[in-house]
Each structure stands twice: as C-alpha cells, then as structure tokens.
Structure 1
Amino acid sequence: MPRYYFNIIAGDGFRRDLEGTELPSLEDAKAEAIEDARALMSDAILLGQDISSRRLEICNEAGDVLLTVLFKDAIKPVA
C-alpha cells in the first residue's frame, strides 16, 4: 500500500509530515487531506484564527507533490 505525506503550507511557513500515512489510493489521500484541513480549521476558528489560506500538499515517498488541497476548498461538500 502506498504511503502519502501531508505537508502543510502557510504563508509564513511549512510543516513537513515526517511519518506519512498508508492509504489505498490518491483518492483516499485526498479525502484524508480534506478531513485534516477541516479539523485544523475547526480548531483555529475556536481560537479566533482564520487559516483558510493554507494548503496541504499530498506527496509520495519520493517527495513528489501529487495533489494540492486548499483549506478553503475543504469547506465545500465532497463530491
């Protein structure tokens, strides 16, 4: 099963996922990224912060960016 890494990119920094997560497909990784973005935004809202301009980059084990999920797009329903 492939391992995907979810790096968080913000205007003022970068947080690298050093562990990654094994998931069956890139589509599953996208769903995981959307859930993660929603959880992080929920926590931030409770603290009075807006982090909707951040994004998650889904990378493979080689570090290649496979997909980017914008936090603001995670607010929309998943199709």
Structure 2
Amino acid sequence: MARYYFQIVERNAVLDDLEGAELLSLQDAKREAERAIREIAAEHLQTESKLELTSIQIRDETGEILASVTYDEAMEDILP
C-alpha cells in the first residue's frame, strides 16, 4: 500500500492534506478524490454556500503530483 495525499484546490486557496490515506493504487486514490469532491459539493448544497472547489490533486509522500481530479470529472457520471 502507498500513502496518497489529497490537496484541495479552490479558486483562491489550496488546502493541504497533512494526514493522507493508505490505498492500494493510484486508481483507488482517484476514486477517493471523486468521492470527496461529491461529498464536499453535497455539503455546500445543504448549507447553500458557494462552492469554490475546482479540483483535488493527488500527491505522493515526496509531494509530487501524481494525478488531479477536477470537479467536472467527478460529476460527469451524475450530472446531465
């Protein structure tokens, strides 16, 4: 298992993930990022607050960006 870090990218800010998560593969990390984006969007809908999230960058332990999942990519299967 590898540790992946999920950096939340908003329009005017970047939120670092200091804890990360141990997952089996980068594909699992991408699925986790998609789930997180959907969860964040749902929270914003419930509170009727503006969503600033644009993507989640997936990084390894050295800080290298391995992949990025955008809001649009995470929502393409559930929004028309």
- Structure 1 length normalisation: TM-score? 0.89
Structure 2 spans left out of the alignment, 5+ residues = none
- Counting only pairs closer than 5 Å after superposition, residues 4-19 of structure 1 correspond to structure 2 as 4-19=4-19
CA shift, 1:52, in A, is: 6.5
Instruction: Please give the alpha-carbon distance, in whole angstroms, between the structure 2 residues aligned to 1:53 and 1:39.
Output: 11
1:21-61 residue CA offsets vs partner (Å, 9 max, x unmatched): 00000000000000000000000111223426511000000
The count of corresponding residues between Structure 1 and Structure 2 is 78
Cα distance in 2 for residues equivalent to 1:50 and 1:74:
18
Superposition pairs for residues 1-79 of structure 1, below 5 Å? Answer: 1-51=1-51, 53-77=53-77
Instruction: Return the TM-score normalized by structure 2.
Output: 0.88
Aligned identity (percent) is: 33
Structure 1 residues not aligned, in runs of 5+: none
Q: Is the 8 A contact 1:52 1:72 kept in 2?
A: no
Shift of 1:12: 1.1
| Alignment partners' CA distance in 2, 1:24 and 1:67 | 15
